[in-house]
Amino acid sequence: MVQPSSAMNLRGKVVLVTGASRGIGAAIATAFAREGALVAINHLRNDEAAARTVAACEAAGGDAWAVKADVGSEAQVRDMVDAIVREAGTIDIVVNNAFRPYPFNPEQRSRFDDLQWSDYQAQFDGAVGATFNVCRAVLPQMRRRARGSIVNIVTNLVENPVVPYHDYTTSKGALVTFSRNLASELGPVGVRVNCVAPGLVYPTQGTQGTRESFRESLMAATPLRRLAQPEDVAGPVLFLASDLGGFMTGQVLFVDGGLVMR
């Protein structure tokens, strides 16, 4: 078993990861568990997948349990957060990973002329709206304790729209700005807010339709010559959430093998 890092100081921390039943969220939850954290696995409907993530967390040496809630619903999020605090006493770290499903298929993407404002609004609600609901629910107890860390998952497309997924990328760009405003306001009370921006992550449910030829061309343009796997995203999230990133807030870490450099 991998020994937890004392420098991260995550043992015993209570972590909420949204959209954690599979893919990137599951990898992040498992990585926190490996460091000795107590992890709440938020999911929308897939009970079996959430149970597998809980089992993976326990196998990694941590404790975890599943919490079903639609993060797009203010009432459900409030009930979820209240239940976690009753169960665990507090919430130290939040990772906002859930988003409205989106197919990353360059050949079948919607062109600007095909989109309606409602498409943008739906993605905005799924990215910024869900994060807003979660932050509104968790921040009162973080403020009271004068500490906490929030990590929001965005995308490297906000800097390099190699494929113009207009509605999706616009919503994630808004989430970056949302995060920085929150970081500016909450810094004086000891709460940090950062973002992790992956490139194309394969395999996930959203990238199943991404053609091999496109994946190969993207790898060829990437200095590290491969695509990210879900586990690649987890490390930077843990860094930002932990004591190792304790003097960082309002930042965006790009996790794309060097495709975006800044």
Whole-model pTM? 0.94
- Mean pLDDT, rounded, of the chain: 93
Confidence of residue 93 (pLDDT cuts 50, 70, 90): very high
Q: Is 168 a catalytic residue?
A: yes
Quick check: 82 pLDDT over 90?
yes
- Residue range 144-188, pLDDT digits in tens: 999 999 999 999 999 999 899 999 999 999 999 999 999 999 999
- For the chain, which residues make up each domain, given as ranges? 14-255
Structure letter (DSSP) for residue 128: I
Contact predicate 200/227, CB 8 Å: yes
Which residue out of 102, 120, 165, 168 is catalytically annotated? 168
Contact predicate 83/110, CB 8 Å: no
Q: How far apart are CA 40 and CA 14, in angstroms?
A: 8
Mean pLDDT of 74-88: 97
* Domain 14-255 sits in CATH 3.40.50.720: yes
What does the block give as tokens for 144? 């009271």
Structure letter (DSSP) for residue 197: E
The gap between the terminal CA atoms of the chain, to the nearest Å, is: 36
Q: Percent of the chain at pLDDT above 70? A: 96
